[in-house]
């Protein structure tokens, strides 16, 4: 594929693209290793939108607004995530992470969980982790100097060869990425656009588009904190090692495993069946986006988590940490699986997000 050879449609900067100040001469090539890291700054805000459009017309959109602040070696990050399937949006989900700890807010209440938004962001790709998308030795070609928000940037284009390690598609037919780095900010990426065309493991063809852009750097951010973090010193030696037990009372948890003769199992994507991961009965609107599977089911989040706890452990997966009412994490050999169940606005259904990290 010749994505890297595609000529730039317009080599003449428009008025809002004209650089405001000289920043030196841009290198003709850049690698991920040459780029700065957002977490090296005191604070930042990033908006990311990933869209998976199938040839059959179905569309999944995941939107993430991430803001973070850093003190010493500790980063406190807040991520607000919304998912829409064919135009129907689910109820939003909020995470706050600090160090290795994570909290989830649902119904205006925080609970500590063992699933991080990085599980989702890393599998989709965003500015905070460009190495999750591009090979380390991939070289981007300089296009031109442009303004992005308040920053003078260098725009680089990465072609098909930059996706040599790509595993979101069973067959990647074409791919291209453009990244704008800010030389005055240690070459940190401030905008990224990615387009990948191919087939997933279920032989469904489609286009995955990712747009991620920094809204601010080193400006005040307003991060809502769970009670455990309010007033806590962010120094690393203040980080507790324990996680509260959030396992639902088994006597109060509804039976989440119906008899097999009551409801047939929904057909699971190959992304799940290849790893002995069951599909919960009554699942509908099943979609696979990169290494993320999303579906709707007429169960409560607690029932979903209980079902997968039973099924995953029976298949040889081990629960990682304490299982919460809306999240769970499992590991087997080098792979890990994160499960998040969100109550839909209707109140009688859940949207389930299963994220797979193959450990490579």
290 shares a domain with 149: no
Note whether residue 226 is domain-resident: no
Note whether residue 240 is domain-resident: no
Q: How many CB atoms lie within 10 A of CB 2?
A: 9
Number of domains, the chain: 2
191 shares a domain with 132: yes
Element (H, E) at 89: strand 88-89
210 shares a domain with 62: yes
CATH number of the domain at 134, please.
Answer: 2.50.20
Beta bridge partners of 330: 319, 337
DSSP 161: G
Answer for the pair 281, 264: CB distance below 8 angstroms, yes or no: yes
Global model pTM greater than 0.85 = no
pLDDT at 147: 96
Answer for the pair 53, 207: CB distance below 8 angstroms, yes or no: yes
Note whether residue 235 is domain-resident: no
CA dihedral 271, 273, 278, 280 (to 10 degrees): 60
83 shares a domain with 197: yes
Answer for the pair 299, 326: CB distance below 8 angstroms, yes or no: no
**Which of 84, 52, 62 is CA-nearest to residue 296?**
84
Pairing of strands 109-113, 205-217: unpaired
Note whether residue 238 is domain-resident: no
Note whether residue 237 is domain-resident: no
31 shares a domain with 158: yes
C-alpha–C-alpha distance, residues 320 and 116, integer Å: 12
251 shares a domain with 317: yes
Spell out, as residue ranges, where the chain has pLDDT lower than 50: 1-22, 236-265
Element (H, E) at 353: strand 350-357
CATH number of the domain at 249, please.
Answer: 3.30.310
173 shares a domain with 254: no
What contacts 301, CB < 8 A, 6 or more positions away? Answer: 106, 325, 326, 341, 342, 343, 350
pLDDT at 291: 79
Residue 194 structural domain: 14-217
250 shares a domain with 191: no
């Amino acid at each position: 594929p010749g994505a890297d050879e595609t000529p730039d449609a317009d080599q003449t900067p428009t008025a809002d693209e004209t650089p405001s100040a000289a920043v030196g001469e841009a290198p003709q090539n850049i690698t991920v290793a040459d780029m700065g890291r957002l977490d090296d700054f005191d604070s930042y805000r990033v908006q990311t939108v990933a869209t998976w459009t199938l040839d059959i017309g179905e569309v999944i959109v995941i939107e993430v607004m991430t803001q973070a602040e850093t003190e010493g070696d500790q980063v406190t990050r807040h991520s607000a995530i919304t998912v829409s399937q064919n135009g129907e949006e689910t109820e939003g989900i909020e995470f706050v992470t600090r160090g290795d700890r994570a909290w989830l807010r649902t119904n205006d209440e925080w609970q500590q969980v063992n699933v991080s938004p990085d599980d989702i962001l890393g599998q989709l790709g965003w500015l905070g982790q460009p190495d999750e998308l591009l090979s380390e030795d991939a070289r981007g070609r300089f296009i031109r100097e442009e303004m992005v928000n308040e920053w003078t940037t260098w725009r680089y284009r990465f072609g098909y060869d930059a996706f040599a390690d790509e595993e979101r598609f069973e067959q990647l037919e074409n791919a291209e990425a453009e990244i704008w780095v800010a030389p005055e900010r240690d070459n940190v990426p401030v905008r990224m656009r990615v387009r990948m065309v191919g087939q997933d493991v279920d032989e469904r063809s489609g286009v995955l588009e990712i747009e991620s852009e920094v809204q601010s750097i080193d400006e005040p951010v307003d991060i809502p904190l769970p009670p455990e973090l309010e007033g806590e010193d962010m120094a690393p030696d203040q980080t507790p090692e324990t996680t509260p037990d959030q396992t639902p009372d088994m006597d109060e948890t509804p039976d989440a495993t119906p008899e097999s003769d009551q409801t047939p199992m929904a057909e699971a994507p190959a992304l799940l069946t290849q790893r002995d991961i069951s599909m919960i009965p009554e699942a509908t609107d099943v979609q696979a986006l990169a290494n993320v599977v999303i579906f709707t089911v007429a169960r409560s989040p607690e029932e979903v988590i209980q079902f997968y706890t039973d099924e995953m452990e029976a298949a040889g997966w081990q629960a990682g940490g304490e299982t919460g009412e809306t999240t769970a994490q499992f590991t087997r050999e080098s792979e890990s699986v994160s499960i998040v169940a969100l109550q839909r606005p209707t109140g009688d259904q859940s949207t389930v997000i299963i994220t797979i990290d193959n450990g490579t």
